[in-house]
Structure 1
Amino acid sequence: MKTSFCAFVSIILLASIFPPTSIWPLAFIAFVPLMIVCSKHSAFQSFAILMCVGLIVENIIFIWIYKLEVFTPVHGLLLGVYFALYWSIWGACTSWILRSKLSQTLKMLSVASVWVLLEYGMANMGFLAFPWNTLAQSQTSNLWLIQWSAVFGEYVIAFFIIAVNYIFYAHKTFSKREIRVSALFVVIFYLSGALDYYFNNDQTGKPVRVASFQTNFLRVRTAENVDPARRLQRVLSMAEDSLAESPDILVFPEGTLHGNGVAYDINLARLRAFAKRNQIPIVLGYMRDDKYSSQVDSKEQFNAAILIDSDKELTIYHKMLLMPFSERLPLEGIIVWPRWLVPNDMFLTPGVKSTPMSAGDIHAVPIICWENLFAGFVKKSLSKESNIIIDIVNDNWFGNTPAPYQHNNISVFRAIENGLPLVISSNTGPSQIIDSNGRVLAMSDEIFEPSTVIADVRLRSTRTIYFYIGDIFIVFCILVLTIALVMTIMVRRTTGLSTIKS
C-alpha cells in the first residue's frame, strides 16, 4: 500500500511541474516518494514499478499527442514504453545505489548523475532522440536557477533538482554537519544564479525592435487557409499594421507562404516588394505546396526559412533536423516500416548546412520548429557574428493543448545557453520574444488567434561558458559513477576478505 501511495504522489507532483500547471517548486520534492520506493525494493522490482510510473507520467505530459490525426493508441503505447524505459533504468540504478554502502554524498551525486546521463542519452539516441520536457525545462520560470545553463547547460539544472530531492529523502540519516553542508550547497548554488541574473547582464549590445507574428493559418482546408494569395494578404496586412511600432525586423512563422518554388512565386515577389518599399527585412517560413509537387520530385520538398532584405538576394535556410516519421523516414532502405506504424509517404529533403541571415546589424541564426530541442545543434549553428536566434514554428497540429507552451519552454534554455536573445514566431502561438537571460519580454495572449508581439532586444556578440565547453558536465557525471562503482567493488572485496579471515 505504501508503494502504491508513494507512486501516486510522485505521479501527481511530476505531472504538475510542466504546462499547463507549471508549479516548478514541486520538482524539488517530486522524486522523494520514488526514492523511498527504490530504497525498499530490489533493482528488478524498482525497474517494474518505475515503468508503471513512467507510463502514466508520460501519457499525462504528452496527452496532446493524441490530437495528431494519424496517432493511435498503439503509437501511444510504443511511445510511452520508450520513455518509461528511462524511468525504469533510473529506478533500478537508484535502488542499487540507495541500498549500497556508499557514503551519503556519493549516493546523492550518483543518483543525480544517473538521471543526467539518461537525459543526455534521450537527446542523442539518433532518430529516437526526443529531449522534450526534460527535468530542467520545468524550471523556465525559475530564472535565478536556470542561469546556470549558461555555464553547464540544462543538465546541471536537472542534477541540482535530483540532488535536492535526495537531501529531502535522506535528511533524517544525515549528521548535523551533513545537513549544514547540504543546506549551504543549495543556498550558494541558487544565489549564484541570482547574482548572475542581476549583475551579469550585458547591456552593451545594440537594441533592435523585433516584431514576431502569429498568423493563425489553420489545418482546416478553407480558401483563407489554403489559397496562397489569401495567405499573403493576411501577411501583408499584419506587416503593414506593425509598421506603426517602427520595428527593425519582421518575423513570420514556419510555412507562412506556400508556393511553387521561390524562383516562380508571385506572392513571394509581392512580399519582397513590400520589404523593399519599407526598407525592412523579413524572415518567414516557406514550403512548396503539395498540389504543385509530383511523386517524381517529392523528395525535393524543403521546409525553408527565408530572409528578404531589400534589394539583396534571398537568403534561404533549409531545415536540417527533420522530425522522424513525419518529415523523414529513418533508416530508409534498411528497415521496411509497416504501414500501420508509418502512414505518411511524403517526406522532405534535409538541408545540408546552417545558413546565417544578415541584415544590417542583425546576424540571425535561423532554426525551424523542433530543431530548438537540440542544444548541441543550435550551438554549432552559431557563427562568430551571430547575435540573435530566430525560431519559426508551427504547432498547429496539437490543438488547444499544453504542447506549444512546453515547446516554447525549450527555447528559453537555448537563449541562456548561448547568451543570445531568441525570437519565436509560431503559426498558432504562442509567439514570444526572449532575452539572453531567459526572460520572456513579450508573448501573445492567446493561441489560435492572429497576433503580433513586439519588443526591444539587445543584439549580443559575447559568448557564454557553455558555448565553449558544451556538455562537459556529462564527463563529471561519468566520473562520479565510475568512483561509485570502484568504491562498491572495493567495499565488497574488503567485506569478503574479512569474512574469510573470520
Structure 2
Amino acid sequence: MESGQHILSWTPRSLGLRTVLCLLTPFLLTLSFPDFNQFWLAWIALTPLLLACWGQGVLIAFGLGLLSGFMTMAGICHWIFQVNAFRWYHGLILGLYLGLYPAVWCGMLSFLRGYRVPFILAAPTIWVALDYLKAHAFFLAFPWATLAHSQHANLPVLQWSTLTGEAGITFLIVLASAALAEMIAAGKWTGMVSAAAIILLVHGWGALQITHSIQGKRVKVAVIQPCISREERGVAQGRTESFLRLKQLTYEVADSQPALVVWPETAVRNLGKDVDRYEQIETLARFIGAPILTGASEFGKFPVRKSLENRVTGVEQKQFNSAYFITGEGKQAGPYHKWIRVPFAEYVPLDGILDWPDWLVPERPDVMPGNEYQQYPLGEGLRIGPLICWENLFAGHVRILVNQGNDVIVQLTNDNWFGSTAAPWQHNAASVLRAVENRVFLVIASNTGPSQIIDPFGYVTAEISPLFKEGVIIGEVKAKSSETFFTRRGELFALLCISMMVTGGCSLPLWRTGV
C-alpha cells in the first residue's frame, strides 16, 4: 500500500490477538443494528478486523475475514433460528456464504499490500463492489443489514443516499474505519484528516437538507396491525376470527376519514376465488369511504405438462403472494403479485436442474412470481405503488416503482415468523433508506409490527410498537414534490466503484511498489 507521513504506529503481533481483534468487529457491528441501535459504532467497527489482517498474507487475511463475517451474521441474524425448519447446518451454510464477502475483501486488501494503491480508497471501493454483488447474486442475493442500514436513525448522513443510494453511505462508513486503521497501523494521519473532513461535510450537508419542509398535496392513510398468528392462518375458524379482527380495527379508523386503509401481507386468503370475502371487504370499503389495500395468499391448481409432448399429465397446487386494491365502487383493479420471492422460503431455486437433498431443503414451497408492477389511485391525484415483504431490500426494484410516477410506496409485510426479535426492526431499516433515496413517503403495514409511516427525510412519523400489539396508526402522506438523482440515474455510485476496482485490477502492474 501507499506510504505517507508517519507518527507512532501499532500492529498486533500474535495470532491470538489478531483473532480477538477480528472478533471485535462482529461485536461492534451487532451493537450497531437493532435491537441495540448504536449506529455510531459502525463507523469504527471494521477497524479491528483491518488491524488483525494488517501485514498478513492473503490466506490468513481471508481466514480472519471469513471468521469475522461468519460471527457478524451470527450476531446480527441470531433470530434466524425462529424460522420453522431452519437448523444449525442451515445457519452454518448461510454464515459461511455471507462470511465469504468480508473474507474476499480482506484477502484482496492483503494482496494489494505489494502495490502503491491508496488503502483508504481501495477498502471502501472493494466493499461497495462486493455489496453490489451480494445484492444482485440471483437466488443468493441477500442485501440484509448492510452497513448503510445501520444508519437508519442517523438522518443527516442518510440524505447522501439521494445522490449515491445506500452504496454512498456504506462507502463513507468503510472509509472511516480504513482511515482509522491506517493511522493506528501505519502511523499515517493524513488519510484520517481527509476522511473526517469528507464525513463531516456530508453530515453538515445532510443536516441542512432535513431542515427543508415537505411540499405537496396531502392525504390521510390508516394502517391496520392485526397480529394474526400462524396458528390462526392454518385453520378456517382462525381465518374467520382474524378477518373479524381486521374488520373491527378498520371500523375504528372510519371517523378519521382516511383516503386509504392498508392491511398487511397475507391478511386474507384466496380473494380471487372467495367472492363472498371479496364482497365483504368491498362493503367495508364502501362504509368507511376509502379503498382497502390488502395482502392475500392465493392458492390454485395449475396443469403439469410433459415437456416433450406438451401434454397435461396432472395438476399441482401453486401459490401467489398478492396485494388487492378494493375500492368499494365495483371497480376491480388488477392484483399485484410479488416479484422478488424469498429463496427456499417461497420457491426452490433451480428446481428441476439441481436435485436438492431433503435434509437441506425439507419443504418445497412453490410461490409463483409476478410479472408486472401495479399502480393504484389515492385521493388528491396521488398514486401508490405496492411492495410485499423483502422487496424493500432491493433498491432498484423500489426505484422503478417511483419512476413509474408513484407518490407513495406501500409495503405489506408479515414478520411474525421471527417472533419478538430484532428481525422486524432490521427489516424496516431498509425501508427508511428506500424512502430517503427516492424522497417519497413509505408506509409499512406489518402483521405483527412494527407498522410505520416514514417521511421522505427518514423520520418515522407514526408507529405501532412494541411487536405483537394489535392496533392502528393514522398519519398523513404527501405527493412526491421532486425527483432525486438516485431515482433518475440509479446505482451509478456502486457501478462507479465496480469500474474503479476492475480498472485498477487491470492496471495493477503499473502500481507495483518500486515501479
Give the TM-score normalised by structure 1. Answer: 0.92
The code of the aligned residue for 1:407 comes to H
Secondary structure of the equivalent of 1:448?
coil
Q: Which amino acid aligns with 1:52?
A: L
Deviates more, 1:319-328 or 1:401-410: 319-328
Of the three residues 230, 233, 236, the one matched with 1:219 is: 230
**Helix, strand or coil for the counterpart of 1:254?**
coil
Match of 1:469 in 2: 489
**8 A Cα contact 2:231 2:238, kept in partner:** no
Q: CA separation of 1:180/1:32 partners in 2, compared to 1, >3 Å: closer, same or farther?
A: closer
Q: CA RMSD in A?
A: 2.3
Aligned partner of 2:249 in structure 1 is 238
1:360-439 to structure 2, matched below 5 A, reads: 360=379, 361-439=381-459
Query: Which one of 184, 206, 210 corresponds to residue 217 of structure 2?
Result: 206
Contact 1:32 1:165 in 2 (8 A): yes
Q: Classify the secondary structure of the residue corresponding to 2:114.
A: coil
**Partner of residue 301, structure 1:** 319
| Aligned match of 1:16 | 31
Counterpart among 272, 277, 288 of residue 262 in structure 1? 272
Counterpart in the other structure of 1:191: 204
2:183 pairs with 1:171: yes
Offset of residue 21 of structure 1: 0.5
Does the residue aligned with 1:397 lie in a helix, a strand or coil? helix
SS in 1 for 2:220: strand
Partner Cα separation in structure 2 for residue 128 and residue 222 of structure 1: 29
Question: Measured at CA, do residues 54 and 301 of structure 1 come closer, stay the same or move farther in structure 2, by a change above 3 Å?
Answer: same
Task: Name the counterpart of 1:344.
Answer: 363
Is 2:56 the counterpart of 1:41? yes
1:113 maps to: 125
Whole-Å Cα distance in 1 between the matches of residues 503 and 147 of structure 2?
25
Which consecutive aligned stretches of 4+ in structure 1 deviate over 3 angstroms post-superposition?
172-183, 221-228, 292-300, 482-488, 491-495
- Mapped contact 2:295–2:324 kept (Cα < 8 A): yes
**For 1:40, what is the secondary structure of its paired residue?**
coil
- 2:328 is the alignment partner of 1:318: no
Residues 104-150 of structure 1, C-alpha deviations (whole Å, 9 max, x = no match): xx221111111101110000000010100011000000000011111
3-state SS in 1 of match to 2:512: helix
Gaps of 5+ in 1: 496-502
Shift of 1:412: 0.7
Q: Deviations over 1:271-315 (max 9, x none)?
A: 10111233211100111369x999965544211101111312243
Q: Please, which of 119, 135, 138 is the counterpart of residue 123 of structure 1?
A: 135
493 and 100 in structure 1: CA distance in 2 versus 1, 3 angstrom threshold: closer
Partners in 2 of 1:230 and 1:293 — Cα distance?
A: 30
* Partner secondary structure for residue 462 of structure 2: strand
Q: Distance in 2 between matches of 1:455 and 1:195?
A: 25
Quote how far apart the aligned CAs of 1:174 are: 6.3
| CA-CA distance at 1:169 after TM superposition | 1.6
Going from structure 1 to structure 2, the CA distance change for 1:489 and 1:268 (only over 3 Å counts) comes to same
CA contact (8 A) 1:86 1:118 kept: yes
3-state DSSP class of the match of 2:461? strand
Amino acid in the other structure paired with 1:208: V
Q: 1:132 aligns with which of 144, 158, 161?
A: 144
Deviation at 1:475, TM superposition (A): 3.1
Over residues 133-174 of structure 1, what are the superposed CA-to-partner deviations in whole Å (9 max), with x where a residue is unaligned? 011000000000011111110001000001011221223556
Q: Which segments of 5 or more consecutive residues in structure 2 lack a partner in the other structure?
A: 1-15, 305-313
Q: Does the C-alpha gap of structure 1 residues 10 and 234 become closer, same or farther in structure 2, counting only changes over 3 Å? A: same
CA apart distance, 1:431: 0.5
Aligned to 1:56: 71
- 1:329 partner SS: coil
> Normalising by structure 2, what TM-score?
0.89
Partner letter of residue 99 of structure 2?
Answer: A
Aligned to 2:18: 3
Deviations 1:14-63 (A, max 9, x none): 11111111110001111111111121311110101111111111112111
Given the superposition, is the C-alpha separation of residues 95 and 357 from structure 1 closer, same or farther in structure 2, using an over 3 Å criterion? same
2:282 matches 1:272: yes
Aligned to 2:155: 143
Q: Give the 3-state SS of the residue equivalent to 1:29 in structure 2.
A: helix
- Check 1:468–1:12 CA distance in 2 against 1; reply closer, same or farther (3 A cut): same
- For residues 161-198 of structure 1, the C-alpha deviation after alignment (integer angstroms, 9 at most, x for no partner) is 01011221223556676554443222212211222222
- Give the distance between the partners of 1:394 and 1:176, measured in 2 at CA: 48
Identity %, equivalent residues: 32
- State the distance in 2 between where 1:76 and 1:59 align: 8
Distance change in 2, residues 1:231/1:176 (3 Å): closer
Aligned partners of 1:228 and 1:267 also within 8 Å: no
Which moves more between the two structures, 482-491 or 14-23?
482-491
CA contact (8 A) 1:212 1:425 kept: yes
TM-fit CA distance, 1:237: 0.4
| C-alpha distance 70-271 of structure 1, shift in aligned 2 (>3 A) | same
Cα distance in structure 2, aligned partners of 1:210 and 1:283 = 11
